[in-house]
Amino acid sequence: MFLKKLSLINYKNFTSKNFEFDSKINCFVGDNGVGKTNVLDAIYHLAFGKSYFNPVATQNIRHGEDFFVIDGEFLKNDREEKILCSLKKGMKKIIKRNGKAYDKFSDHIGFLPLVIISPADRDLIIEGSETRRKFMDGVISQSDKEYLQNLIKYNKTLAQRNSLLKYFAVNHTFDKTTLSVYNEQLQEYGSKIYRKRAQFLESFIPIFKEQYQAISGGKEPVDLTYDSKLIHNDLLTLLEQNLEKDRAVQYTSVGTHKDDLSFSINEHPIKKFGSQGQQKSFLIALKLAQFYFIKKQAKTTPLLLLDDIFDKLDENRVAQIIHLVDEENFGQIFLSDTHADRTENIVKNIHQSYKIFKL
């Protein structure tokens, strides 16, 4: 699968811009603020129906305008696929495939497998558990529609249970029967989510470790572990055990929405004990493992977006990444860099065709 053409209208800093891409490597070079990352984000938008960097949809419309349109022409399984994503202020976002609008955005997820590696990924290390759960859910959902549906249903039920807990507190009332209906639904969806995450990590962790060793030259042992209260108890038991606490705080304090991933290097938390280079290598290894996992599950090669990844990495690690990317397992790659010369030197060492776009 590859992206042949991209057209942007009123998207972020672009008034109107068209690109025709190489089927292998495409580089966007230029100073900070010229829109290199915005082009990558537009490609991400076509795959996921949302921005990777800005969750507020209307803020992706060019300042002073009232709509944006992103139009992409892909070649997948020898078929041309036209994907359009548009938003007008005050209206719902639209995603169309070959002229037909999707009823549910979730039906589009996974159709265009894509992995992005960006400086913003540092949030996976420094932010709270929600960021790491989103990463895990995003990887699984790209190739598992049932998982995505269970996640949507779980979150909807969770919101309803939380509203009920608030209602009880405000009205000084309590109805255990109504609450038990939500508990059973959370148990049903939550246990499926937990099992899928555990299965996923069993396959994913060895791939991740292999990628980290390849990037770091095998210097430091790294690990990631799944933290979930469901390892030792079923969700129904946990909800009953925490009922008084939930009533006091007016929200659901246990469940798969509290799961986390622990990242470590040399058996210590990478957040505290990893250098900038080690943290960056850890994140790149995570994302490359995501790439290989999705490739295997989706039976097609995902697009790979590399946003400014050569910054803050020593030459050895850059060389290792280039060596990895030079293998035949990769399809189409998009990368951004502020140093045009550095980019040209890097892509010349990769034995693939390439195009450089100076913005």
Number of separate helices (H) and strands (E) present in the chain: 11, 14
User: Taken in order 117, 119, 121, 124, is the CA torsion positive or negative?
Assistant: positive
CA distances from 38 to 28, 43, 60, 184, 271 (A): 10, 9, 9, 43, 28
Neighbours of 244 (CB within 10 A): 8
| Distance, CA of 199 to CA of 110 (rounded, Å) | 19
31 assigned binding-site residue: yes
Q: Are 269 and 263 in contact (CB under 8 A)?
A: yes
Residue 217 marked in a binding site:
no
**37 assigned ligand-binding residue:** yes
32 in a known ligand binding site: yes
To the question of whether residue 343 is assigned a binding role by annotation, the answer is: no
Is residue 76 within a helix (H) or strand (E), and if so which, with residue range?
A: strand 67-76
Q: Which helix (H) or strand (E) holds 205?
A: helix 176-216
Among 178, 129, 182, which Cα is nearest to 153's? Answer: 182
Question: How far from the centroid of its chain's Cα atoms is residue 254's Cα?
Answer: 24
Is there a binding annotation on residue 155? Answer: no
Tell whether residue 256 is among the known ligand binding residues.
no
Which residues belong to the annotated binding site? Answer: 30-37
Which residues belong to the annotated binding site for ATP? Answer: 30-37
